[in-house]
Amino acid sequence: MTAYYRDIRYPFGARTADHCFEHDLPCGYGWIFPEVEGVANVGVYVRQDTYRRHGKPLARLLDDFIARHPDRFDAGERVGKSRVWSLPIGPSPRPAAGSGVILVGDVGGFVDPLSGEGIWQALYTGMTAGKVALEATDGGLTSALCERYEAACDEQIRNPSRKKAAVQNVMRAIMRGRLYRTWPVRAVLRSAYRRRSFEMTKA
């Protein structure tokens, strides 16, 4: 769920994108993105299976997230309506190519399970599918071309997504046990973020 705010505070710098892993956002997070033309994107993301067990409406989760950060939002003003939508988190169990069809982006379930990110995945699968489709103009979308597309998606998206889903489950255990307060866990997380180990987007 996402909303837009004016006049929020950025204690770590106005160009930072903050991701907050909190107890009532299991397998998800809250975010505060930098302002664009004076308006900041703020929202919460929760994996669907944990959201169903949790029971709180997304609007309540967003309101609670904002209420927990008065240092950021007490002078803020919401702009327009909030929006909510479901993301087809990957990796999808169904094949992404066959019978004259190539699936790309959200349709193929190419959405990062850890971050909910899908822009890079949509661009990558779109460009890869375009190359496969060009080759298919000669002899059709053969099984060999489908297998090549599937292999590319496995290497670049599905396999990293499986690892990130495992990381997400570990992070949930860390949150439940409040292990993030211990110095070894803090050191590991700090190192991973500095090396951008959790990011999918490629330069």
Domains of the chain: 2-83 (3.30.9.10), 97-194 (no CATH)
- The confidence score (pLDDT) of residue 134 equals 95
* Average pLDDT score over residue span 64-83: 92
> Quick check: 201 and 120 in contact, CB under 8 A?
yes
**Residue 163: φ, ψ to 5°:** -65, -40
Reported as a pLDDT band with limits 50, 70 and 90, residue 203 is very low
What is the spatial distance between Cα 60 and Cα 24, in angstroms, rounded to a whole number?
Answer: 11
Reported as a pLDDT band with limits 50, 70 and 90, residue 172 is confident
Which of 72-76, 121-125, 185-189 shows the lowest mean pLDDT across its residues? 185-189
- The confidence score (pLDDT) of residue 19 equals 86
Reported as a pLDDT band with limits 50, 70 and 90, residue 198 is low
Q: What is the pLDDT of residues 29-47, one digit of tens each?
A: 899 999 999 999 999 988 7
Report CA 10 to chain centroid distance, whole Å: 22
CA-closest candidate to residue 118, choices 127, 133, 107: 107
Which residues fall within 8 angstroms of residue 147, CB to CB, at 6 or more apart?
Answer: none
pLDDT of 196 above 80? no
For residue 61, the tally of other CB atoms under 10 A from its CB is 22
Q: What is the pLDDT of residues 88-130, one digit of tens each?
A: 787 888 899 998 999 999 999 999 888 788 899 999 999 999 9
β-pairing, 40-46 with 2-6? Answer: antiparallel
Angle at 198 between CA 117 and CA 102, to 5 degrees: 40
Which pTM value belongs to this model?
0.74
Which residues fall within 8 angstroms of residue 45, CB to CB, at 6 or more apart?
Answer: 1, 25, 28, 29, 30, 31, 115, 116
What is the spatial distance between Cα 95 and Cα 83, in angstroms, rounded to a whole number?
Answer: 30
Which of 27-36, 54-63, 71-80, 185-194 shows the lowest mean pLDDT across its residues? 185-194
